[in-house]
Amino acid sequence: MPLPGNLQTTAMGILPHRDVERALALALSLDVPFWPQLPRLSYYEDMYAQASENFPGVRLDLAQERVAFDTTRFYDELAAYAEASAEAATFALSPQYSAVYQRFLSLDLSRYPAIRGQIIGPLSFGLKISDENLKPIIYNDDVRTVIFDFIQRKLNHQAEELRARHPGAFVWIDEPGLELLFSSFTGYTSERAKDDLAAMLAGVDGMRGVHLCGNPDWDFLLTADIDLLSFDAFGCGAIFTRYAAEVGRFLAKGRTIAWGLVPTAVEDFGGEGLETLLARIEGLWAYLVSKGVDRERLLHQALLAPARCCLLNPDKTETVEHAFTLLRQVSETLRQRYKM
């Protein structure tokens, strides 16, 4: 099935809720719903911890809330992992690691145009988790090979389970580490990362999508072999639109952009409303059109989303829930304005 667009709504996976049903109801209030990750409920639901289930060499340190990796244990467990990798259950998301996922799968989701899942990307996973010497595990060639294969298999398993509930299901990878990747501190070159990511994406069954909230090398992403790019348009839109030629070529290939427009942090949300956000997004689009991007394609291949996930608001879930309401209002207004 084609990707949804036409200014419909979706959101990134992380929510600040502890109430499973309330979080699920919020996710289901959007045009393209998702199963929520709830790290305030349990550390198992942290996006790095959640993806680490059954990865060799990993143990969760619940007291310190960190993913612990031991290189010796990795090699000791590698043979058993290789044998277990023949079983689909090795790459499944268990109820212990998600309080919502199985509940989401049990629902009748047929009325939605599509449904979505998510998993941390391999680059971010490898850069975030460190070994016993505090060195990111992506620098170990043996471990890095397993990371990319492991995340690909987990993504494909999730996508298969979601497609059993809806033919338009897809899963995107969250790659916040892409912003760090292009700094001078990582020691992992963008050329190597692009090759590794391309190989991983080539083995993804179905739609290939990337979400991130930071400000990476946009040329890297807009020329990658992906079908959907989700980003923080509220914070990074002015920089992103400077890549107008690349955006035009990305859209000309039939690809979709999810514009993260509505802020979810208290300090940003308080200064915005329907009219200011409409002016902001239409200003970004007008600039792209002035640089030659096809207006109809830009709108028809657009999703709208919150700018970022947010776990740190002093009001906990209140601002995030208001942001979802405002997102729906922005979408409805724009769809009426552009007759979609």
What pLDDT was estimated at residue 125?
96
Task: Inform me whether the pLDDT recorded for 185 exceeds 60.
Answer: no
- Beta strand spans in 98-253 (E): 116-120, 170-174, 209-211, 228-231
pTM of the model: 0.95
- Give the pLDDT band (50/70/90) at residue 338: very high
* Residue 226 domain flag: yes
DSSP code at position 43: G
- 187: pLDDT strictly greater than 70: no
| Number of domains making up the chain | 1
Residue 293 domain-assigned? Answer: yes
Task: Enumerate the β-bridge partners of residue 306.
Answer: 262
Q: What is the mean pLDDT of residues 46-52?
A: 98
Q: What is the CA radius of gyration of the chain?
A: 19
Mean pLDDT of 286-295: 98
Average of pLDDT values for 194-208? 91
Residue 262 lies in a domain: yes
Q: What is the CATH number of the domain that holds 41?
A: 3.20.20.210
pLDDT for the residue numbered 184: 52
Q: How confident is the model at residue 191 (pLDDT cuts 50, 70, 90)?
A: confident
Task: Kindly give, in sequence order, each residue whose CB lies less than 8 Å from that of residue 195, ignoring residues fewer than 6 positions away.
Answer: none
| Average confidence (pLDDT) over 131-138 | 95
Which phi-psi region, left, alpha or beta, contains residue 54 (left: φ > 0; alpha: ψ -120 to 50)? Answer: left
Cα separation, 7 vs 267, in Å, equals: 26
Residue 183 has a pLDDT of 59
pLDDT of residue 186: 59
Q: Which domain holds residue 22?
A: 8-337
> Does 112 map to a domain?
yes
